[in-house]
Amino acid sequence: MNISRIIRILSILSLIMITACTPKNPYSKTNSIYKKQATAFGKTLSMQPNIIDSTPATPYWVGTTNFGMRKPNFVIIHHTAEGACDSALRIFTMPRTQVSAHYVICKDGTIHHMLNDYLRAWHAGAAKWGNVTDVNSISIGIELDNNGFEPFSTIQINSLLQLLKKLKKDNNIPAANFIGHADIAPKRKVDPNRNFPWQQLAMQGFGNWYDTSNVKLPTAFDPMISLRVIGYDIADPVAAVKAFKLHFVQQDTVAILNDADKKIIYQLAKKSQ
């Protein structure tokens, strides 16, 4: 057997071994769909803007040179309410579910970047924050692998903090605009659950927090108006109070505001003005 034949056989065996050792991607089909949709969006963006037929025709098209990508200005944090990370990933790759997120963070800290940050994920649903009613169009959605009742692992939160640091820097997102799904949809959602470390995030610049040690309430203070100033939808006052407590007074599940709660609301509202 000559040397060239031996080399060919070794090359074939090496290729077989590499193929056998390479794990098959279970999402190869949906990844192809992603690429096709992204390519279609790219073609749409590069097209000349349509001219309205009823207006006088222009002799030529004039495209501005001054534009950029629309950047997200909010980060919305969710929990998956699933039993495992793979379950959430499968749900977000099924067209019939009509739900998605930009990122999914597993319990072991693995971060799956499922959608380009500049594209619109379907994670917020019917939601409102301040005067914003289309939260999906201005936000990044992050899903944490959690069944809705369990604590969040340290390694998972560390991965989240690293991601938030990058997103804040890349998009210049204000600290106050890192919020939860329950904050923007108080009548429907309770995620992330009351085990979520909001104070830890706020101490690192991701969300507002409070220090009421020297706060004195004004005589005519209205906590519901102040909740509205913070951003909460107060159409359902009970739901708004529960959402506020889920974020800021996690040990309390009663939808009644005491003086300590009101001081928190008062200070947070001042930070939001």
Residues forming the active site:
143
Pair of tokens at residue 146: 């959690």
- The candidate with the shortest Cα–Cα distance to 127, out of 116, 137, 139, 135, is 135
Pair of tokens at residue 192: 């992330």
SS3 call for 210: coil
- Separation between Cα atoms, residue 128 and residue 233, nearest integer Å: 6
CB within 8 Å of 220: residues ≥ 6 apart? none
Question: Could you tell me which residues are beta bridge partners of residue 74?
Answer: 139
CA 25 to mean position of chain CA atoms: 25
Contacts 24+ apart (CB under 8 A), 79-83: 79/143, 79/144, 79/145, 79/146, 79/147, 79/148, 79/191, 79/192, 79/193, 79/196, 80/104, 80/143, 80/144, 80/145, 80/146, 80/147, 81/146, 81/147, 81/148, 81/191, 82/145, 82/147, 83/147
